[in-house]
Structures are given as structure tokens and as C-alpha cells.
Amino acid sequence: MLSNQVLQKTIHEMGNILECNCSIWGSQGELLASVGTEKSYVKESVKGFLESLIEQQRAYTSQDKLALFPVENEDELIYVLVLELKPDREALKYGRLCVSQLQSLLEMNKVKMDRNRFIQNLVLNNLMGVDIYNQAKRLGIRTEQKRVVFLIEPKGENDEIVLEMVRGIYTTGMGDYVTAVDNGHVILVKSLETEEDMSAVNEMAHMLVSIMNTEAMVNVRVSYGNLTNELQKVPQAYKEAEIALEVGRIFYAEKEVLAYQELGIGRLIHQLPESLCEMFLKEVFDGQEGSIFDKETLSTVNQFFENNLNISETARQLYVHRNTLVHRLEKIQKLTGLDVRVFEDALTFKIALMVSDQMKYTKQKNRK
């Protein structure tokens, strides 16, 4: 089925060319799009036409100042086209041309939907290797092409706007495919030129964020995985983008663009078994997941880490006396036995905080 927007645009073009009122009706006799005022006798004529199709399989009928045509796709009645003009040979010729136009649009839409379903099944890894090759060949999708998979997550409830915006920017005619597999996530499988590298991909991701912010007024987070040259490796690239998005939620909430290759230690911690995480936290925080520290202490130590363990610079940025900062850091040492002014202890403490965040996220996720 074609969208209401496409139907309305098509019927207006037909009306302008033929210089007559015309309309498109559904297979149940409902008006879908029209040019000119709706007339009750047209509706009755469509109803009678549909009944005659069932009984006699007639392909065309005419009444006084009306010509009605069935629009079929794969032997299934989709629409009824009504032209409000004298039903003569000219009307028959014009009607057949209009029907052909609608059938072409239906066929193009079918191919588009087939491609969309194929991409959905591809990223979800629901296809065997031979199926990927055969279906891609049938749908005109290149199996060997440099690609990247972007995963776009709106921070609000405007995922439909994001989906339409991305579809408007990237068209399948250029070898790009936009789809969605669940609520809240938009997937863009983007074809790349041979010379385009990770730097270019990073710029594309930032551009997507910027466009959504300025034009759609929607805040989004964009992630992407490694580049791939083979269609059958797209599922792995999608999985990497998915991991990047989840790791970003846990450890890098302030980041709007997340690259799988740049997740660092966060990606490693995300892949640790839960039992190992619990054992580590028990050793460092006595199993309390970092809850033994107040917000001031955590804010102070994070600022200290960002300044590469520089006490003077951290005190200056926090607007506190150096001794006050030292006192806060020593408070951590009393609770954990770790002196975060020493690199090795600082590293252990930082990892423990990240493991704690991972465990909190896992528990919240399991409760949903």
C-alpha cells in the first residue's frame, strides 16, 4: 500500500494533466485521495463497481461522466481509480495510463519494503550466507561494498521523526538503507567510498547529531562499529554499534557519538562475567558497589582523575584549598585502603567505580 502522501500527490498530478476531478478508493470502498469535491453518487458508483468485480471480474466500467478502473498488484485488487470525465475511448486510454502509473508505484514500493525487510533480517542475523547472497542479488543490493552501520537512539520519544528525517537524508538509490527493528532505535546501513575512513565516518556521526538537534529538535546519541567490505559482515557491525550504545549509556553518558573502537576499558568491563565483577567489588568496596561514597567524594575523585592526579590543578578547578582536597582523597583511603594519589591504586579505584556502574546497570536492566 502506498502512503496517503504519495496517493494525494499522484492524484493531484493526474487531475492537473487530465484537467478533471479524479479519486482513488480502497478495495473496501473507502475514499483515499481525491481532486475536487466528494460526490455521493461517485461513492455509490464505486460500491457498485466493486460488487461487479466480484461477480463478473470486469476490468473497466463507465457511467455518465464517470470512468472506473481497477488497480491490481499481483492479481490482488488494491485500488479503484475514478476519472470524472466522459467515458469514451480517450477516457479509456487516459485511465489505463493512470493505472499503469499506480501499478509502477506499487511495484517500486514493494521492492522498497522487500529491501527493508531484508536489511532488518540481515542486521538481526536471521539469514544464512547463501540466503544473503541470493536475496541481495534479487533486490539489487551489492554484496561487496564498503559500509558502516550507524545506530541512532533518540533521547526522548520522537523516534518516528528521527526515522523519517534519516530516510529523507539517505536514499536507497545511493546504496544506503534506513530501517528500525525496535522502538527507539533507527539503523542506517551507509555505503562508503573507497577513500572514506574512520575519520570520515566520525564526521558523519557528528553531522547526524547536529541535524537532529537543529532541524528535528531531537537530541540523539549515535554509535557505529567497524567498517565492513562484505554484506554478510553487516550483522557483526550492527552488533558492535549496539554494544557501543550500551557501553555509552553506562560509562559515557555525556558523549553523543560512540565508536566501538574507542570505548577503551569500558568495553572490556562490559564483557566481564557478572560473577567476576561481584568478586572484584567485594575485594575493593566490600561488595557495596561504590555506594559507600557520597556525591562530593565521587565528584572530587573524578575531577582528580581528569587532571591526571594533579592535586594543585584539581583544587583550583574545584575552588577548594589544597588541604581540603587531600582530606577528601584520604577519606577514600580510609574506606578502601587505596591511596588514589598513587597511580596503581588510582587505576584500581577507577576500574572498581566502572565495574560498580556496570553492575547497577545490569540489575536495572534485569528488573525491566
Residue-range domain boundaries for the chain: 4-109, 124-266, 272-367
How far is CA 79 from each of CA 18, 22, 87, 197, rounded to the nearest angstrom? 19, 13, 19, 47
Domain 124-266, architecture per CATH: 2-Layer Sandwich (3.30)
What mean pLDDT, rounded, does the chain reach?
86
The class of domain 272-367 in CATH terms is mainly alpha
Q: What percent of the chain has pLDDT over 70?
A: 93
**Predicted confidence band of residue 247 (pLDDT cuts 50, 70, 90):** very high
pTM of the predicted protein model: 0.74
Which range in 12-21, 161-170, 237-246 is most confidently predicted, on average pLDDT?
A: 237-246
Whose grid coordinates read 575531577? 303
Distance of CA 46 to the CA centre of its chain: 40
Q: Tell me the sheet residues that pair with 60.
A: none
| Second-level CATH architecture of 4-109 | 2-Layer Sandwich (3.30)
For residue 257, give every residue at least 6 positions away whose Cβ sits within 8 Å of its Cβ, in sequence order, or none.
202, 205, 206, 209, 221, 222, 223
Model pLDDT for residues 121-139, shown as the tens digit of each residue: 898 888 888 888 898 888 8
Question: In this predicted model, what pLDDT tens digit does every residue of 23-70 receive, in sequence order?
Answer: 999 988 899 999 887 778 888 888 888 888 766 555 566 666 788 899
The confidence score (pLDDT) of residue 60 equals: 61
Question: What confidence tier does 282 reach under pLDDT thresholds 50, 70, 90?
Answer: confident
Query: Going by DSSP bridges, is the β-strand pair 185-191/144-154 parallel, antiparallel, or unpaired?
Result: antiparallel
* Top-confidence residue, 134 or 216: 134
CA 152 – CA 222 distance, rounded (Å)? 5
Most confident segment among 120-129, 152-161, 220-229, 275-284: 220-229
CA distance 345 to 5: 62
